[in-house]
Structure formats: C-alpha cells, structure tokens
C-alpha cells in the first residue's frame, strides 16, 4: 500500500501549539509532519536500531535522559540532578557544569503553577515555556501561582507545596481522559494560604520581589483524541522495533493508537521510519 507520508530520520520531541484542540506535529529528521489531520489513519513507526545523541551526534547503544549519550549525560548541565530537583541547584557554589547555560536557563524567571492532568498537581517551568510545559504534561487546565527570580527558588516553592499537593501526573489516567473537574483559581488561593509562612521565609532570605504571587487566569486545553483507551498498553521500541496501529489521538507527548500508546519524547534521538497510510 502506498503511504500518504513516508519519512525517515531522528525523532525529536513533538512540537505543539495551543488551540482548540492543541495542534501537533511530529519531527522526523528535518521534516515536520502535521499530526492532527492524521487522526483516524493507520500509521507505522519502525526503529532501525540506531540511536544518536541529540547534543553531540555520537552513536550510542542507550539513550540517557531522553536523547543523550552517556558522556553528555555526565557532563551537561541540562542532565544534572538539579534539573529534576531544582532546590538542589549549586550554581551559587560555583560548581555548575555549564555556568553560561545556567545563566540562560536557570537564573531567569520561572513559574510555579498548578495543573490538572490527572488531578491537581504542582509544577515549575521557565516563563518562556508556558504553555508548552502544560501541553507536554497533558494538562486540561493550568494556572500560574507565583513567578520567581530563579529556578532554585521555584524548587523551594514547589517543595513547600508538596506537603499539600502532588507533583506528578498519573499518566495512565491522563491518557484515559480520567480527569476530574477542578476550580484552579480556588485551588491556587487554598495552596497559597497553606504555604504563606514558607513564602514569607523565602522572601526574607531572597528579597521581597524575588517571589511574586500572580492573579493570571487559567488556561483550558483540549486535545485531538477520537477514542480514549480503556486500558493503557505501551509500545516499547527497544523490545519491539515496530509500532503500528490506527492513530486515535494525541495527548501530552503520546500517540494513542488502537494497539497501544507510545511516548515520542522517550525515543528522542532514535532513527526511525514514519509512515501514514490511507484508510482502508
């Protein structure tokens, strides 16, 4: 059968733009393929066994931190443990792996937010990554809570919030569309009241203007999904190099096929052939 789309190259994170619904592309090598219009069509993703680091282009037998070879994983600031635990930032100690990278990515304004992906959660992101971060997490609603001067400060605020709200998404529930209705503006007021003493201590240490509560509106998001899976089964390209099925939807960084779901971001750096076929 002749494919409607037939491209080869290295997978990257799917670019997405907010809309009703969110608009997705899949990036394969230098080619961007619009995905929303492909919902309902059969597709096939074949991994050819080659993984290349997205930073240095070195061939690697295993991908670390979603796309890096081991040497880059060990040396790059983007792969340091403080990225996952920003409160552990050590830039001020002069031990940042890449101080210039830290200045442009960490020593800038960050947003601490509340999102509803599979229930209420707290998260942080660079100000420039709103709403991309929310889309990547499959949030149906999200709202900024505070804006802070640095990534480490965002981490401190997030730690305070964790005593009262989860910081992780139940990705299976997110992919099933099992998301409760929440009033995020009301939840913001509740959480800010609960962490008021923590915020006061942080402002005393870092400056009154280093943490700013905001009253920005929430952003509702919808996704191009025709059928929600009743049971979430995952495709694993490392074990089975071909994933095929009818594309039933896209949410977060997942393709939802009638045969299972696949997290495209997990396979960043994988060399693949991506094909979409006509409907039978």
pLDDT tens-digit readout, 4-61:
999 999 999 999 999 999 999 999 999 999 999 999 999 999 999 999 999 999 999 9
Q: Within 13 A of 6's CA, how many CA atoms are on the CB side?
A: 6
State whether 201 and 80 are in the same domain: yes
Q: Closest Cα partner for 42 from 268, 261, 271, 258? A: 258
State whether 208 and 85 are in the same domain: yes
Q: Closest Cα partner for 118 from 44, 181, 197, 195? A: 181
pLDDT at 77: 97
State whether 50 and 178 are in the same domain: no
State whether 111 and 179 are in the same domain: yes
pLDDT at 243: 98
pLDDT tens-digit readout, 131-143:
999 999 999 999 9
Among 191, 219, 247, give the residue marking a domain's end.
219
Distance CA 271, CA 50 (A): 6
State whether 232 and 272 are in the same domain: yes
State whether 160 and 235 are in the same domain: no
How many domains does the structure of the chain reveal?
Answer: 2
State whether 137 and 11 are in the same domain: no
Distance CA 249, CA 36 (A): 8
pTM (predicted TM-score): 0.94
Q: Within 13 A of 121's CA, how many CA atoms are on the CB side?
A: 20
pLDDT at 146: 98
State whether 20 and 78 are in the same domain: no
Residues in the chain: 280
pLDDT at 238: 96
Q: What is the domain extent for residue 146?
A: 71-219
Among 190, 219, 248, give the residue marking a domain's end.
219
pLDDT at 279: 86
pLDDT at 260: 98
pLDDT tens-digit readout, 84-130:
999 999 999 999 999 999 999 999 999 999 999 999 999 999 999 99
The answer on pLDDT for 1 being more than 80 is no
Among 181, 202, 219, give the residue marking a domain's end.
219
State whether 122 and 242 are in the same domain: no
The sign one gets for the Cα dihedral 209, 211, 213, 218 is positive
The answer on pLDDT for 74 being more than 80 is yes
């Amino acid at each position: 059968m002749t494919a409607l789309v037939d491209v080869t190259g290295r997978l990257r994170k799917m670019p997405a733009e907010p809309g009703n619904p969110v608009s997705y592309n899949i990036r394969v090598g230098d080619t961007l393929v619009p995905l929303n219009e492909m919902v309902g069509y059969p597709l096939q993703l074949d991994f050819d066994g080659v993984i290349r680091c997205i930073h240095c282009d070195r061939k690697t037998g295993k991908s670390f931190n979603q796309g890096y070879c081991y040497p880059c994983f060990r040396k790059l600031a983007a792969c340091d443990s403080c990225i996952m635990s920003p409160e552990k930032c050590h830039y001020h100690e002069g031990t940042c792996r890449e101080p210039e990278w830290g200045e442009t990515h960490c020593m800038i304004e960050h947003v601490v937010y509340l999102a509803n992906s599979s229930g209420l959660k707290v998260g942080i992101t660079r100000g420039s990554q709103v709403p991309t971060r929310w889309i990547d997490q499959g949030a149906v609603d999200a709202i900024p809570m505070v804006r802070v001067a640095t990534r480490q400060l965002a981490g401190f605020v997030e730690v305070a919030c964790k005593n009262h709200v989860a910081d992780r998404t139940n990705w299976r529930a997110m992919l099933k569309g099992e998301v409760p209705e929440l009033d995020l503006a009301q939840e913001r007021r509740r959480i800010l009241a609960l962490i008021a003493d923590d915020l006061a201590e942080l402002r005393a240490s870092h400056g009154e203007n280093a943490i700013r509560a905001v009253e920005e509106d929430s952003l509702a998001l919808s996704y191009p999904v025709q059928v929600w899976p009743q049971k979430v089964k995952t495709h694993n390209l490392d074990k089975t190099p071909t994933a095929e099925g009818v594309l039933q939807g896209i949410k977060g960084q997942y393709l939802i096929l009638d045969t299972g779901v696949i997290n495209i971001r997990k396979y960043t750096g994988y060399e693949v052939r991506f094909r979409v076929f006509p409907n039978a």
